Amino acid sequence: MPTKATAEIGVFGGSGFYEFLDDATEIELDTPYGAPSSPVTISRIGGRSVAFIARHGRDHTFAPASVPARANLWAMRTLGVTRVLGPCAAGSLSPNVHPGDFVVLDQLVDRTHGRPDTFYASGYESGHVHHVSFADPYCQELCPLAFTAGTDAGITMHADGTVVVIPGPRFATRAESRSYRAQGWQAINMTQYPEAYLARELGMCYCGIALITDYDTGVEHDSDVAAVTQEQVFAFFKSNVHRVRELLTELIPRIPIGRDHCECASALGPLPHTDSIL
């Protein structure tokens, strides 16, 4: 559906984070990939135009593997969004990363399968193949700003961390969790992929900010830690969502207007004029 609404910055709300903006305009959008997870709300924070989508839907109706990530990112890009903030719930895989801490993610390991994860699925048939650089999955300009904003807001922040993205909806087994910890990864989540990658395909900056809700299946002594449950994760995120809001409210006004210090916009390189997706 055509719209004259625009926004500079996009925010995806994770589990328990279903509303964000006050005095917002709500719009319904359709995309070539279906409808987004929720209606888009648009308002202003610190003089900046911000669009918000509840990643799992307002009633948490979308499981991790069924989140319409392509529709969500396309809707944001249609509105003019060039910077995307992706707060999410995550479990800790490190004894140094505690529930209540925030991790500004800098690396991602994809362990999902079968999710629609590209806007160029027909590239081989059309003769135009796009191999997109994803060596550094997260925007190298936004991430330091997020760390500083969170620190200034009095939040315990970790400046970097690797997240392993599992398919869900089940949580990891103890053996899987031990394996991930042995790799030296810091966090475990179910939705950072393909969201971060799809943003890259659209030339958008993406910043993943993980709120640590639990120790997954244990950090130091597996048998001493009870298995994590959905109820615990949702309750913890809900009780801490005000801190996510504080971080975002502190961060958004700090985001520069221009994009001069990252390469996110040029990740695709030159595209054949007949194959532009926008």
Determine the Cα–Cα distance for residues 92 and 81; give it in Å rounded to an integer.
Answer: 31
Give the gyration radius of the chain's Cα atoms.
Answer: 18
Candidates 23, 214, 222, 224; catalytic one:
214
Contact of 204 with 73, CB cutoff 8 Å: yes
Candidates 216, 222, 224, 275; catalytic one:
216
- Retrieve residue 112's tokens: 């999902």
Question: In the annotation, is 260 catalytic?
Answer: no
Question: In the annotation, is 216 catalytic?
Answer: yes
Tell me which residues are annotated as active site: 214, 216
